[in-house]
Amino acid sequence: MNSIETSSTGEHDVAQLHRDSKPAPAAKAPGAIALLVHDLSYAQAEFERLQRLKQSSQAVVVAIDPREVRLPIWFRADDADDEDRRAFEALKKSILQQGSNVQPIKVVPLGGANVDDFLLSKRDNDCCELVFGFSRLRACRELGLPVMAIVEQLSHIEQLRQFVVDHCCDRRWRPWRLGAAINHGIDSGTFPSIRKAAEGLSLRLIDASLPVSLDRLPSDLRTAFRRVQIKPRHAKALIEAYARHHDPLARSASRMDFSSCKSANAVLTKLLGSAT
By the 8 A CB rule, do 221 and 275 touch? no
Q: Determine which of 12-21, 58-67, 160-169, 227-236 has the lowest per-residue pLDDT on average.
A: 12-21
Average pLDDT over residues 239-259: 89
On the question of pLDDT at 227 being above 90, the answer is: no
User: What is the predicted pLDDT for the residue at 103?
Assistant: 93
State residue 35's pLDDT score.
47
Q: Inform me whether the pLDDT recorded for 264 exceeds 60.
A: yes
239-247, long-range: CB within 8 Å, 24+ apart, which pairs?
A: 239/210, 239/213, 239/214, 241/271, 241/272, 241/275, 242/217, 245/275, 245/276
Provide the b/e sequence for 234-254 (b: ≥16 CB within 10 Å): bbeebbebbeebeeebbebbe
C-alpha 245: how far from its chain's center?
34
Q: Where are the domains of the chain?
A: 57-154, 157-216, 218-276
| Spatial CA neighbour of 58 closest among 140, 154, 125 | 154
Q: What is the CA radius of gyration of the chain?
A: 29
pLDDT higher than threshold 80 for residue 34: no
pLDDT at 139: 95
What CATH number labels 57-154? 3.90.1530.10
Note the pLDDT of residue 201.
Answer: 92
Q: Where are the alpha helices (DSSP H) in the chain?
A: 14-21, 32-56, 82-98, 115-120, 134-143, 156-168, 175-187, 194-200, 205-215, 219-224, 232-244, 246-255, 264-275
Query: What pLDDT digit, counting tens, does each position of 200-218 carry?
Result: 999 999 999 999 999 999 9
Give 185 or 8, the one with higher predicted confidence.
Answer: 185
* pLDDT of 252 above 60: yes
CB atoms within 10 A of CB 109: 22
254 alpha carbon, distance to own chain's centre = 33
- At 137-176, the pLDDT tens digits run 999 999 999 999 999 999 989 999 999 998 888 777 888 8
> Stretch 63-81: mean pLDDT, rounded?
83
**Tens of pLDDT, residues 89-129:** 999 999 999 999 999 999 999 877 788 888 877 676 668 99
Give me the amino acid identity at 76.
Answer: R
State yes or no: pLDDT of 27 exceeds 50.
no
Global model pTM greater than 0.85: no
C-alpha 177/C-alpha 192 separation (Å) is 20
